[in-house]
Chains A and B, each alone.
Chain A
């Protein structure tokens, strides 16, 4: 029994010890550890980085530089702006529309007469006349005597007047001419003219000698005729001749009828118009320029003539346009367009790009004037169009989208607002200068490039505003010369420094925003031809050059070191001391504070005042010749240790000062070195 108990205890013994295990603690375990920590190099490039307006020279000298060569500019459009010009606008009524004369010739041969009536033909053949007529044949006089007795006339023939379909005449003279191509005289011939509408009447011709042409005229006023005119030769009496005489007749023997209508003025006409002039207009366009500019010669970069045509004709109208004083590619400018003239206004654009215009052709006003010749012609081809005296048309021409490729003349005196803007100044470095920034040699440079053939007076200015609302003004008033000849460029530079301007007032603000504004007073000097082209330009640029040679008080520069939050139980840290070996390679007295910051809550837990260090040795030119070394230590108490370990950022707050009246030069490679070691006592005891 006892053995069993002992055995059981023996088995349970190790389990007892295992179950009794508890955590081992330490006592008096507080090691003190020293270790190098970090070697921090801070350069002026870190504090004043090369960005925005900050630039570094080749030797790393820091300067603030800004340049914009085109703050203000004006081009051809700014100098001369040619608004849309109305050329002319005319209204035409066709009430007194002159119609072209009609002419017609008809041959009515003897052969046609003889073959027109079978009886007569029989008789003629019986009389020995060969039908059809040979080249020549002789016919005796007796045959003619018989024909004269037998022919009642010469029969009828139609005259088709193709020029029109129907005309109602207000005025019109119809001339009928008969040419005797028979070998014998015609003693008498009566001609009756009739149409499908009105008849013209009877005309009598007498004693028509061989080869003679006689004309008779009749008035058509008030008549309406169509184009199918029937000519009825009612009576023909030939000269009685010796029956034994022989006469030669040919196929051309007969009479020729000349049909002519002149002095036509109609109420309406239905006809095919060919080159029927509707309007013919010569006019002069006078450019209206706002500022009294006098343009002598003009080459258009862009431009067009817009024709507006509206009519009751409802047919195509040919528009002829020419500008006698203009050439295009060396050729006189003229153009022809076919425009539909309907009740809906038609528009036609005529491109004037590249047009070279002489605006000095007017004797009275040898500038700004462009002669224009416009004519509108109706040409319907074979199509018949009815034209009445109720019809009308309106034609208008205007110049638009005119821009200048080249112009010369006298541009007058007037004012151009150059505009302006408010810009935020990217001189962020100025934010770090709390006060008293005195630059040794700041420069504000204005450059003008002028290739425009005109002089001007530029009055411009800068109005600078500080973050606190203070402002300072800089004004600029200079005369800009014009180039000597076309193609030349004048460059002018004005340099403003603190001795001849208020530039140092602006720097001292320091500026956060700058408002710039300007006006140009164009001086169109009549002693010189003014010119401008699309390539010419007057531009004004500014350049800021602020070398960092300065005397400062309290430059506060900051940079942030990002830390990961240290997952350390700070209560274990009994004390902590930072040891620092510092080498001040800045030519400025440097005060270094460490701000322990939490970026999430944006709270600064603590400020550790590291030290105040004298500047490195600076020579007379303000250049650092030797850095200054020092040793320092900071002991952190419990609260500061806690804040340090709770921070996720350390802000290096560097305050720089120059000695009074000491001017120094800033180079980006100046270094401020802090070598840190840490002495740390940790208490591991629970």
Chain B
């Protein structure tokens, strides 16, 4: 089973009411939530997992016989671009307070992306013989990863007709990796003294930081804000999350490639030397070319990936709502080159019964333009259950996989 699913977390978010698709996608108590219920979120039952790939994994991975084959993938000039977001609600607790609703909890977050160019894949899969007498540049290879936890305090308040919520998150950075520059090139030639002498150029730079899963190092702060308001028959909801930063100060390292330009032409051997020693020396030299020197780096600050969503809905009948939803998540990666991953939803929600609400949308993103989502929210006695996927027909045959589930208990 694909290991992505190992990190399949179930979460419970407890809602007295799931009022919007936006709320449906929340993995914790929505900012604008307000009720008289005291809510206890059960630990380790939270997940919102998004996985995007430019090309279907099935193009190179065969699930049925568990084999990898990049041959056609590479020949089709495809690269690997993947983005994933995972948010878990470890614990949350909410209670009404006067006219407000307060809640706090602990969350866990992972954001990451990787880009491997077709050239890199081809080099790895087919070898470098194909590039004889050619200079091959490897750019646009990227790998980024951030993992952090947060302790949050949020409050709901109402101002006139606007329902607002604010959440302060105290962050603890767990892991950070960002390949700021992942460039290298080489040129193997057969017109020098040594056959296949290779010019190698590297320009690699990355930063890392890590700390324990639980702790207070790598501190950060972020702010979430949401507002809901009605205009005539339309309900609008705007939400901004992860407006903040993390100050990475523990085990911070800068990783730099040592050599910028080098001509590798094998090891030199004379009869008074030992082959194994010379080979080892040459391998050491070769590894030095690509070796990354890791030096203790000064502390640095990164922003948390910004999330923004806006939704407009309209009740068309007592039990039916039409809505459009726009989300964007900051595609966090190469320094100075920020991008946003946009998702567009248009759908309908219907109260099938007093216990079940169904949501369905047609949604679009640049990786997977045609997706059908289906969500269900159900309440039985003191239990509430939610299951939602933005791409019903995913499961590794497509380029976008999303799922979140929840199971909660109210008292």
Contact = CB atoms under 8 A, between A and B. Distances in A.
Interface of A: 3, 7, 10, 13-14, 16-18, 20-29, 31-43, 46, 559, 561-564, 579-581, 675-679, 681-682
B295 interface: no
Given A24-B67, A31-B124, A32-B126, A40 B8 contact: no
A677 B196 contact: yes
Interface in B371-411: 380, 383, 405, 407
Interface of B: 1, 3, 5-6, 8, 10, 62, 65-71, 124-130, 132, 188, 190, 193-198, 264-272, 274-276, 278, 380, 383, 405, 407
A32 B127 CA distance: 5
Contact of A17 (B6, B66, B71, B132): B6
Given A39-B269, A40-B269, A34 B67 contact: no
Contacts of B270: 40-43, 46
Contacts of B125: 29, 31
Contacts, number: 142
B129 A33 contact: yes
Contact of A36 (B129, B132, B265, B383): B265
A680 to B, nearest CB: 8
Contact of A675 (B124, B188, B195): B195
Given A46-B271, A677-B194, A3 B380 contact: yes
Contacts of B68: 24-27, 29
B266 A39 contact: yes
Most B-side CB within 10 Å, residue of A10, A20, A22, A46: A10
Contacts of A24: 66-68
Contacts of B194: 36-37, 39, 581, 675-677
Given A36-B195, A675-B193, A677-B190, A26 B266 contact: no
Contacts of A561: 269, 271, 275
6 contacts: A27-B69, A27-B71, A38-B278, A41-B268, A562-B276, A679-B196
Contact of B126 (A31, A564, A679): A31
Nearest to A671: B270
Given A37-B266, A563-B276, A676 B193 contact: no
Nearest to A41: B270
Nearest to B10: A10
Contacts of B190: 579, 677
The 4 A-B residue pairs with the shortest CB-CB distance in the complex, in nearest-first order: A677-B195, A31-B127, A17-B1, A36-B266
Contacts of B70: 28-29
B195 A17 contact: no
A559 B8 contact: no
B198 A32 contact: no
B195 A33 contact: no
Contacts of B69: 26-29
B266 A677 contact: yes
B66 to A, nearest CB: 5
B5 A679 contact: no
A18 B66 CA distance: 14
B198 A36 contact: yes
Most B-side CB within 10 Å, residue of A13, A28, A36, A675: A36
B361 to A, nearest CB: 24
Contact of B1 (A21, A33, A559, A679): A21
B405 to A, nearest CB: 8
A3 B384 CA distance: 11
A562 B266 contact: no
Nearest to B65: A25
A561 B276 CA distance: 9
Contacts of A38: 266-269, 278
B5 A34 contact: no
Given A29-B125, A38-B266, A39-B268, A581 B193 contact: yes
Contacts of B3: 21
B195 A579 contact: yes
Most B-side CB within 10 Å, residue of A14, A35, A43, A563: A35
A677 B407 CA distance: 63
A174 B6 CA distance: 150
A40 B194 CA distance: 10
A28 B128 contact: no
Nearest to A23: B66
Contact of B71 (A28, A46, A675, A678): A28
Nearest to B6: A18
B72 to A, nearest CB: 9
A34 B188 contact: yes
A16 B6 CA distance: 10
Contacts of B269: 38-41, 561
A26 B66 CA distance: 8
Contacts of A682: 127
A561 B272 CA distance: 9
Contact of B383 (A3, A14, A678): A3
B71 A34 contact: no
Contacts of B271: 42-43, 46, 559, 561
Nearest to B278: A38
Contacts of B264: 36
A34 B383 contact: no
Given A3-B380, A36-B196, 16 more contacts: A14-B5, A21-B1, A25-B68, A29-B125, A31-B127, A31-B129, A32-B127, A32-B128, A35-B198, A36-B195, A41-B268, A559-B271, A561-B271, A562-B274, A675-B265, A677-B190
Most B-side CB within 10 Å, residue of A13, A17, A32, A675: A675
